[in-house]
């Protein structure tokens, strides 16, 4: 079934321009794969003309297959007074080798004259030339009309002429952008309707949240006839952020009755939202609509009492619809089916009736209470499930370790010693590193490689630290997220402790155990 509204995610481009967001290439690949598995129709991966990291992203993305999403590269129209074929930024867009290319161009005369410092006609030619050129290379072309609404309010004839220039040159879609994020829903409605009267191609809507109306404006655009919506997971983006696609998706599906994603997708929404926050190293907002932990949390006597009698008395929808859960009245069944679903996803033969499910659920809840998060650490969750269901023993045990640090003039050196046991055999190794975790990782690996040569190939590819309760200062709990790979597979593990070295060791041990217990 074709979606009634296309979803276009720009977390990796517009979203990454938000303050405090900094994705590595590996982060971007992980997020793109997650969004693809969720099923959002388009993923804008980055702007190859603006930084080498995005060029590298597209080079890596080319080697992967995306099942559900089409990848888009983002860029601008050609420079003024330069032939489109000779524009390096446009050439880099083609070299990204994506099926979709999104380019932005100017609608607002103010920008044409004062920012581009060119003529209205040259701006029209820049739009048309670039769209035509990219279409001639067989790409789907989305034309993002920057400042579409402010431009239209200033000079409607010229604004329409820029959009028509894109359409006539072959653009598959003209997306109207509220770039400065200051429009009202009523203005969006009127201007999208005006565009619809003039254009025959698909119309998209791209809004920002500067006055808290990012989502409302996107929905106004859709009600006025847009059939393509752009946004970011959790509303990341410049200034106060973009339209939050994590809110748009369930609102379209559950409140406006639009078919947008296959059945069974929506319950994965909260997980997607948390996953992206974890990768961005941002605390998940408990008050985020639909997916925040407080969305269906009932506090205070009368509410709890009413909810106990009739669940929907204080809930606008069932929390499970978006993968969220009711707090206070934690439904054991919902928790159980969530875990069963997750276990199946990880390749275990588990149903809602598997007797060990209760034990797993209890263990997961206990760990989550201590500060563990499994959304972005599936390998650690897989270990909890595997140990419970298949009753497997840990392949090794760490009996003791010691980490020390010394400073000698300008340089500092960390040293770690570790004692491990495999069956009745023991190993005791020492290693140095540039930091305590690096030293511990080397010592652990050296000890284990004697027993398990396969671990030689395992590499630590990312390491993230989060302080869980910043209120208590240095005594706060620390969560460590580690990403590992062995030339082919990638997995992530988690550790929690009030000691950062201990938390890191837990995540390292999980990583090695996962490698050993998971058949290739
Ligand atoms: Zn934007």
Tell which wins on pLDDT, 461 or 255: 255
pTM, two decimals, is 0.74
**How do residues 398-435 score in pLDDT, each as one tens digit?**
999 999 998 878 888 899 999 999 999 999 999 999 88
Q: Is 491 helix (H, G, I), strand (E, B) or coil?
A: strand
Distance between CA atoms of 352 and 335, rounded to whole angstroms? 10
**H-type helices in 39-144, by residue range?**
52-62, 88-95, 109-110, 120-136
Residue 507 C-beta-side C-alpha neighbours within 13 Å: 34
**Which pLDDT does position 20 carry in this prediction?**
85
- Cα 406 to averaged position of ligand 1 atoms, centre (Å): 48
- Cα 258 to averaged position of ligand 1 atoms, centre (Å): 24
- Cα 42 to averaged position of ligand 1 atoms, centre (Å): 15
**Which pLDDT does position 330 carry in this prediction?**
36
**How do residues 236-270 score in pLDDT, each as one tens digit?**
999 999 999 999 999 999 999 999 999 999 999 99
Instruction: Report which secondary-structure segment, H or E, holds 221.
Output: helix 214-223
- Cα 130 to averaged position of ligand 1 atoms, centre (Å): 20
- Cα 13 to averaged position of ligand 1 atoms, centre (Å): 9
CA 162 to chain centroid: 33
**Which pLDDT does position 291 carry in this prediction?**
95
Q: What percent of the chain has pLDDT over 90?
A: 71
**How do residues 305-328 score in pLDDT, each as one tens digit?**
666 667 777 789 999 999 998 765
- Cα 177 to averaged position of ligand 1 atoms, centre (Å): 7
What dihedral angle (degrees, nearest 10) is formed by the CA atoms of 292, 214, 145, 12? -20
Structure tokens at 461: 């590819």
């Amino acid at each position: 079934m074709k979606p009634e509204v296309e979803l276009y995610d720009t977390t990796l481009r517009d979203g990454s321009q938000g303050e405090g967001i900094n994705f590595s290439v590996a982060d971007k690949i992980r997020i793109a794969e997650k969004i693809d598995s969720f099923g959002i129709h388009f993923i804008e991966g980055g702007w190859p003309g603006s930084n080498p990291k995005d060029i590298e992203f597209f080079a890596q993305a080319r080697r992967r297959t995306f099942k559900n999403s089409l990848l888009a590269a983002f860029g601008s129209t050609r420079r003024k007074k330069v032939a489109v074929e000779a524009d390096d930024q446009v050439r880099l867009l083609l070299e990204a080798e994506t099926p979709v290319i999104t380019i932005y161009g100017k609608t607002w005369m103010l920008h044409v004259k004062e920012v581009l410092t060119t003529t209205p006609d040259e701006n029209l030619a820049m739009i048309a030339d670039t769209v035509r050129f990219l279409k001639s290379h067989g790409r789907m072309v989305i034309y993002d009309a920057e400042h579409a609404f402010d431009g239209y309010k200033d000079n409607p004839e010229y604004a329409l002429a820029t959009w028509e220039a894109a359409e006539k040159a072959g653009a598959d879609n003209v997306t109207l952008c509220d770039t400065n994020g200051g429009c009202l829903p009523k203005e969006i409605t009127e201007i999208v309707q005006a565009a619809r009267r003039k254009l025959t191609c698909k119309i998209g809507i791209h809004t920002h949240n500067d006055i808290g109306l990012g989502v409302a404006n996107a929905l106004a655009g859709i009600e006025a006839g847009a059939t393509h919506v752009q946004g970011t997971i959790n509303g990341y983006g410049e200034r106060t952020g973009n339209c939050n696609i994590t809110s748009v998706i369930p609102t379209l599906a559950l409140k406006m009755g639009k078919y947008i994603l296959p059945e069974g997708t929506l319950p994965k929404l909260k997980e997607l939202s948390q996953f992206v926050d974890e990768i961005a190293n941002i605390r998940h907002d408990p008050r985020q609509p639909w997916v925040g932990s407080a969305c269906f949390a009932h506090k205070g006597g009368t509410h709890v009492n009413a909810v106990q009698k009739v669940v929907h008395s204080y809930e606008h929808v069932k929390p499970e619809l978006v993968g969220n859960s009711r707090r206070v009245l934690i439904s054991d069944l919902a928790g159980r089916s969530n875990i069963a679903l997750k276990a199946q996803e990880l390749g275990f033969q588990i149903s809602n009736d598997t007797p060990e499910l209760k034990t797993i659920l209890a263990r997961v809840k206990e760990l989550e209470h201590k500060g563990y998060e499994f959304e972005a650490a599936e390998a650690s969750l897989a270990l909890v499930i595997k140990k419970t269901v298949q009753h497997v023993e840990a392949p090794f045990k760490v009996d003791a370790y010691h980490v020390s640090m010394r400073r000698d003039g300008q340089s500092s050196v960390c040293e770690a010693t570790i004692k491990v046991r495999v069956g009745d055999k023991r190993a005791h190794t020492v290693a140095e590193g540039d930091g305590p975790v690096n030293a511990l990782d080397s010592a652990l690996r050296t000890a284990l490689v004697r027993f398990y040569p396969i671990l030689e190939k395992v590499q630590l590819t990312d390491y993230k630290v989060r302080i869980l309760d910043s209120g208590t200062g240095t005594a706060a709990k620390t969560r460590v997220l580690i990403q590992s790979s062995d030339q082919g597979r990638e997995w992530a593990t988690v550790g929690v402790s009030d000691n950062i070295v201990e938390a890191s060791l837990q995540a390292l041990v999980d990583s090695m155990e996962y490698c050993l217990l998971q058949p290739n």
